[in-house]
Amino acid sequence: MQQVRQDNPLIVQGDHTVLVEVDSPRYVDARDCLARFAELVKSPEHIHTYRVTPLSIWNACAAGVEPEWIVASLHEFAKYPVPSHVAVEIRDQASRYGRLKLTRDAGGLVLSANDLPLAEELYHNKHIIPLLKARLSPCEFRIDPIARGQIKQALIKIGFPAEDLAGYAEGEALPMQLRSGSFALRHYQLDAAAAFHAGGSARGGSGVIVLPCGAGKTVVGMACMAQVQASTLILTTGITAVRQWIAELLDKTTLRADQIAEYTGASKEVRAVTVSTYQIMTHRDRADAEFTHLQLFDKRNWGLIVYDEVHLLPAPVFQITASLQARRRLGLTATLVREDGREDDVFALIGPKKADVPWKVLENQGWIATASCTEIRLPMPEELRMTYAVADARQKFRVASENPTKAAIVRKLLARHPDEPALVIGMYVEQVNAVAAELGVPVITGSTSQAKRDKLYAEFKSGKVRVLAVSKVANFAVDLPDAAVAIQISGTYGSRQEEAQRLGRILRPKAGRNQAHFYTLVSRDTVEQDFALKRQLFLCEQGYEYQIVDDQETF
């Protein structure tokens, strides 16, 4: 019988969950291994729970992680013997990736199975057979090119992700280069761009790059554009992000201003490189009307489509993306977590994860700021306790989130960091406005005009404005490189990706000051406290620890 290894942190269970003892001396090394092939489920103080899933294994395989390495890692860090069937299942799920291949011949697309029983399983599946145009041989099927995305979605649902080797349309040629001399790609950015393009015209050119906020995902996107050398459509989260992309393209590539267009509510031009928003792509005049601007996907012969913050990809764009499989596709994100559970659709329609660098790795190398995370719990005011008690579940969360005593805590936190640029971030516009008014600081919400947003962002960057209050509009793709303090006064229920993005606002390294502070204010003994724990899951997976303190202890 194998001896118990007391210093090891992992307890691998038969249901494919992995318990991790945080106090183990080998915890950090084990956590960094797990991040490559497992998903964090929950993270209370001393024992974290991960789960090894088929999708987590397929993403690991697509990123070049061998199943034997996964199994060896579990054995290496396990306190007790690893159940033998867990290793068998990991190898089995890994073997499923690539058993089906999509290729191209003179007649179009071909789906090939590596053995006859699998081919028969496809042929007798009611969800698959409508997508099979003809049977070319016992193990080969003709696929209509228009169904390339649908078949990949359907196959992943039955547990056999197809490896897409059918190649891509070259698109309209666009010679461009990154500017030499003005900046240099960091080693992990070079590696990520190389991973995206690895395999040439057949294997390379579609997939997702996962890098921490502040690590330069936009630069990686531009490096991929330089590899593809083709007309590119970039979709991002808002007009501010659109203009930041355009500014970066002009600053860091050889593209000219007359080659780049903005396609938004303010301007609807289409050029060799066009930058648009998810909002305009999903715009329609009424709920039952057609989406007005989806034809942008057909406006030019795009050679590459970049999905910035791909974890936010809206459902209508999923639908159109299913028909865009002949185009190269690049997803950029800090976290593949989707609150709607459609990570498998991202895998099928954008591509598998090609690169994923843990946040703490880049922090240790000095590429992103060191961050301390603190949850401050404060009591509900006596006059609101009955209001909270009789409210329904949804209203309970809002009452707790808008706890009026939070404003005084914000003031004290800002006084603690008098010389550091700070963001006050909230979910509820009324709350953000009220706190901003009490503090006498400018505010940006969804109703703030784009001109005023641009002005305030510029003043914050220049140092003219030290504290900026923002609603959810600043969650994503907003370049505020000097922010060093973030105070979250309310969040979106248990949204893990929002928590990660909000921490990401302050992770850009600063000259002479590489320490960032993230505070989240939570009403004690309320549903807000429970949701806060869920929001923190992804960041705990990345190695961040929340110090939980009482407001009376803090000040």
pLDDT digits (tens, 9 = 90+) for 56-108: 998 888 778 899 999 999 999 999 999 999 999 999 999 998 899 999 998 88
Spatial CB neighbours of 461, under 8 Å, sequence gap ≥ 6: 480, 481, 482
| CATH superfamily, region 363-554 | P-loop containing nucleotide triphosphate hydrolases (3.40.50.300)
As a dihedral over the C-alpha atoms of residue 152, residue 126, residue 98, residue 17, rounded to 10 degrees, the angle is 90
Give the residue with greater pLDDT, 555 vs 134: 134
Fold of 187-357: Rossmann fold (3.40.50)
Nearest-CA neighbor of 73 among 23, 26, 15, 25?
26
Confidence of residue 495 (pLDDT cuts 50, 70, 90): confident
- pLDDT above 90 (res 405): yes
Euclidean distance between CA atoms 488 and 37, whole angstroms: 31
- pLDDT above 80 (res 169): yes
pLDDT digits (tens, 9 = 90+) for 18-51: 999 988 999 989 988 888 898 877 766 688 888 8
Q: Taking all residues of the chain, what is their mean pLDDT, rounded to a whole number?
A: 87
For residues 283 and 291, the answer to whether their CB atoms sit within 8 Å is: yes
Nearest-CA neighbor of 506 among 530, 484, 478?
484
Structure tokens of 203? 């294997």
| C-alpha count within 13 angstroms, C-beta hemisphere, residue 404 | 8
pLDDT digits (tens, 9 = 90+) for 182-231: 778 999 999 999 988 875 555 567 889 988 888 889 999 999 999 999 99
For the entire predicted model, the pTM comes to 0.80
Euclidean distance between CA atoms 341 and 497, whole angstroms: 12
Pairing of strands 422-425, 47-51: unpaired
Nearest-CA neighbor of 118 among 178, 177, 150, 161?
161
What's residue 200's pLDDT?
57
Q: What percent of the chain has pLDDT over 70?
A: 94
Confidence of residue 1 (pLDDT cuts 50, 70, 90): very low
pLDDT digits (tens, 9 = 90+) for 249-274: 999 999 999 999 999 988 889 999 99
Give, in order, the Cα–Cα distances in Å from 487 to each of 47, 435, 530, 542: 27, 12, 19, 20
Q: Which of 213-227, 338-352, 445-459 has the lowest mean pLDDT?
A: 338-352
> CA 465 from chain center: how many Å?
29
Where exactly does CATH 3.40.50.300 map onto the chain? 187-357, 363-554
